[in-house]
């Protein structure tokens, strides 16, 4: 099994975010789960990758050529795939993965998260998607999703596609027990 982890190229304002990335990396290795991520050596991406590698795990990075040219690609990964565009990166990360987890991150993390969620809603995949809600980071998003449902822009089954947990082991259990609801166009 491989899980794609969306996370940031920045470490965040508080050390708890990088520690959560490291803890998730170690947890995935103990469960013999391979990791797919954005391929960078910086931010929470670098923290995740370094933890997976230090624990003897398997990690594949997928990174656009332009970021390799900026010298932020992680040099020690099990495998690094270089693609031409961010669109190709997301598609390739999805192809390589059986599930997705989003750690706290910025706009890129949010964009990756919502794109794979949209793909699930459209029935393009049935892979589970989880948010690791470190220190309530994703609480505002959860409230927005509640509002989307209340206002009729998202179905309850669409909401159920997004799994939220404050705890890495708990989130993995939820991902493992996931049964996909029908997508919007299924």
CATH number at 141 reads: 3.40.50.450
Asked, for residue 186, whether it belongs to a domain, the answer is no
Summarize pLDDT for 58-107 with one digit per residue, the tens.
Answer: 999 999 999 998 889 999 999 999 999 999 999 999 999 999 999 999 99
Summarize pLDDT for 101-127 with one digit per residue, the tens.
Answer: 999 999 999 999 999 999 999 989 999
On whether the CB atoms of residues 48 and 24 are closer than 8 A, the answer is yes
- pLDDT tops 90 at residue 9: yes
- pLDDT tops 80 at residue 131: yes
Asked, for residue 26, whether it belongs to a domain, the answer is yes
pTM of the model: 0.95
Asked, for residue 40, whether it belongs to a domain, the answer is yes
Read off the tokens for 116: 């794979």
Asked, for residue 18, whether it belongs to a domain, the answer is yes
Asked, for residue 184, whether it belongs to a domain, the answer is no
Q: How many domains does the chain have?
A: 1
The reported pLDDT for the residue numbered 26 is 98
Asked, for residue 70, whether it belongs to a domain, the answer is yes
Q: Which helix (H) or strand (E) holds 4?
A: strand 2-6
The reported pLDDT for the residue numbered 185 is 53
The reported pLDDT for the residue numbered 82 is 97
Question: Of 68, 1, 69, which is closest to residue 38 (Cα–Cα)?
Answer: 68
On whether the CB atoms of residues 74 and 48 are closer than 8 A, the answer is no
Helix, strand, coil fractions of the chain, as percent rounded to 5: 45, 20, 35
As a whole number, the mean pLDDT across the chain is: 95
The reported pLDDT for the residue numbered 180 is 87
- pLDDT tops 60 at residue 11: yes
- pLDDT tops 80 at residue 147: yes
- pLDDT tops 60 at residue 53: yes
Asked, for residue 97, whether it belongs to a domain, the answer is yes
The reported pLDDT for the residue numbered 75 is 93
The reported pLDDT for the residue numbered 182 is 64
Residue 127, domain extent = 2-176
Asked, for residue 80, whether it belongs to a domain, the answer is yes
């Amino acid at each position: 099994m491989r899980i794609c982890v969306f996370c940031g190229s920045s470490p965040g304002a508080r050390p708890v975010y990088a520690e959560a990335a490291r803890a998730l990396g170690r947890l995935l290795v103990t469960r013999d789960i391979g990791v797919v991520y954005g391929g960078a050596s910086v931010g929470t991406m670098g923290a995740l990758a370094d933890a997976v590698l230090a624990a003897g795990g398997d990690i594949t990075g997928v990174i656009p050529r332009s970021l390799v040219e900026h010298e932020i690609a992680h040099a020690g990964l099990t495998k690094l795939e270089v693609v031409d565009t961010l669109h190709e990166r997301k598609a390739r990360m999805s192809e390589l993965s059986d599930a997705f987890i989003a750690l706290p991150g910025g706009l890129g993390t949010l964009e990756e998260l919502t794109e794979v969620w949209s793909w699930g809603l459209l029935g393009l995949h049935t892979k589970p998607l989880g948010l690791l809600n470190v220190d309530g980071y994703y609480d505002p998003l959860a409230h927005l999703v509640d509002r989307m449902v209340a206002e009729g822009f998202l179905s309850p089954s669409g909401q159920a596609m997004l799994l939220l947990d404050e705890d890495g082991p708990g989130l993995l259990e939820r991902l493992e027990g996931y049964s996909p609801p029908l997508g919007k166009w299924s």
